[in-house]
Amino acid sequence: MKDLISFYPCQMEIAYTEKCNQVCDYCWVNKSSAKILDFKSIQRAIDIFLDFPLERQTITFTTSEPLIYPDLYQKVVDYVLSKDSGKRITMITTTNGMLLTGRVRDFILERLNDRFILNISLDGKQKSYDAHRRIKGVPERSAFQASWKNFAELPRDKARVIFTITPSEINCFRDNMNFILEEGFRKIDLFAQMFTFWPVLALRKLKEGLSRLIKYLDQNSGFGYDIRLLNRLWGSSDYAKMLLASDGRFYLFEWVLALPVSMRARYAIGGPKGGVDLAKRAALFDNLLSESGNKHRNLCAKCGHGGVCSWPLPIFLWSKYKKKNHFRYLRNFCLLAGIFIEASSRIKHSFNNELDALRLSRGVNRKPRW
């Protein structure tokens, strides 16, 4: 696993706040910090990150609700866009959509392209969506309705849906997926709820549901679907990341936010004033891999997915903090990852039909249910 560690991180998560206007029961962010990072610190951090000798780099806003502070968000985005570094820089924003209105909505839509990407969190129909999400401070209101009124007006070719599948809603997977497809969305990332235990029956239903979905996609292969299943938790991308947190520190990766503030210092690797301690970053990864893998190192060696999957450090951090049985959750992770990896290998990505893209942008693209 150590050969996966990138000396220079190529992806930086900017979490200038841990605040969110929704309360989601599957959210892994601890939200124990009330701090808000100032723009000058973010500027310095971006400069440090973009100084790394890399041709391609990614900046993401995905671990909280970035649009809570729209002015700060827009300043950061424009600052990155103003950097004429000669590199290929991609920015990704993930939002629950409640604040995707007015000026900030226009700001985002005007800039969207293949390097400025909008992800929207949409877990299907209202019943499943509201089963896991509540509006902070107003739990009696429908979180789905608050978000959907803004999603409904989005050009379908401009946004990628982030659909989180949970074991409790697995019986509704087909209906929820149909809803998303019938609404005209074609760019979809399917994520499994990770920091939980998936029962055997739920895993079986997930595998069956993905198989039916792939069969449907094969039958409609020319219709412009771009559906991805390779969850970031079982790729090697964690080893190429870093986090800028709201306390003004750089951390190993975004999963450190699963820990309370009091437990994060161990994984700090610098800050905007002093830069990134790359040697410490490499040593922390080495130590984590050794600590998490000493008892179970043979699992990956025996797995047939070793070329795609990687050791799940986020599961280790979470289970250690929550005092869970790490081996039990690791085994469960392996079963879940195997289902997704095998299904992903059967999906053909195609979003190249210009006529189809035009129809999507007009919101008139509809296909039969799968």
The pTM assigned to this predicted structure is: 0.89
Closest listed residue to residue 83, CA positions, set 108, 32, 49 = 49
Distance between CA 39 and CA 8 in Å, rounded? 24
Quick count: other Cβ atoms within 10 Å of Cβ 183?
Answer: 17
Return the pLDDT at 141.
95
Return the pLDDT at 360.
42
Closest listed residue to residue 198, CA positions, set 173, 237, 169 = 169
The type of residue at 134 is: R
Distance between CA 124 and CA 129 in Å, rounded? 6
Return the pLDDT at 181.
93
Distance between CA 223 and CA 123 in Å, rounded? 22
Return the pLDDT at 3.
47
- For 151, what's the count of Cα atoms within 13 Å in the CB-facing half-sphere? 28
Q: Are 344 and 273 in contact (CB under 8 A)?
A: no
Closest listed residue to residue 220, CA positions, set 368, 95, 336 = 368
At the topology level of CATH, where does 2-361 sit?
A: TIM Barrel (3.20.20)
**b/e for 266-284, b at 16 or more Cβ within 10 A?**
ebbbbbbeebbebeebbeb
List CB contacts of 336: < 8 A, sequence separation 6 or more.
Answer: 192, 194, 198, 203, 206
**b/e for 331-343, b at 16 or more Cβ within 10 A?**
ebbbebbbbbbbb
Closest listed residue to residue 278, CA positions, set 270, 286, 290 = 270
Return the pLDDT at 341.
85
Distance between CA 160 and CA 175 in Å, rounded? 19
The type of residue at 124 is: G
Which value, in Å, is the radius of gyration of the alpha carbons in the chain?
Answer: 20
* Burial category of 311 from C-beta neighbours within 10 Å (exposed 0-12, middle 13-18, buried 19 and up): buried
Quick count: other Cβ atoms within 10 Å of Cβ 236?
Answer: 17
Walk along the chain (370 residues) and give the pLDDT tens digit of each residue: 444 456 899 999 999 999 999 999 999 998 888 899 999 999 999 999 999 999 999 999 988 899 999 999 999 999 999 987 788 999 999 999 999 999 999 999 999 998 999 999 999 999 999 999 999 999 899 999 999 999 988 998 889 999 999 999 999 999 999 999 999 999 999 999 989 999 999 999 999 999 999 998 888 876 788 888 865 555 557 788 999 999 999 999 999 999 999 999 999 999 999 999 999 999 998 898 888 776 566 666 677 776 667 678 888 888 888 899 888 988 898 889 889 888 888 875 433 333 343 334 434 444 445 5
Distance between CA 37 and CA 90 in Å, rounded? 22
Distance between CA 245 and CA 37 in Å, rounded? 8
* Conformational region of residue 31, where left means phi above 0, alpha means psi within -120 to 50, and beta covers everything else: left
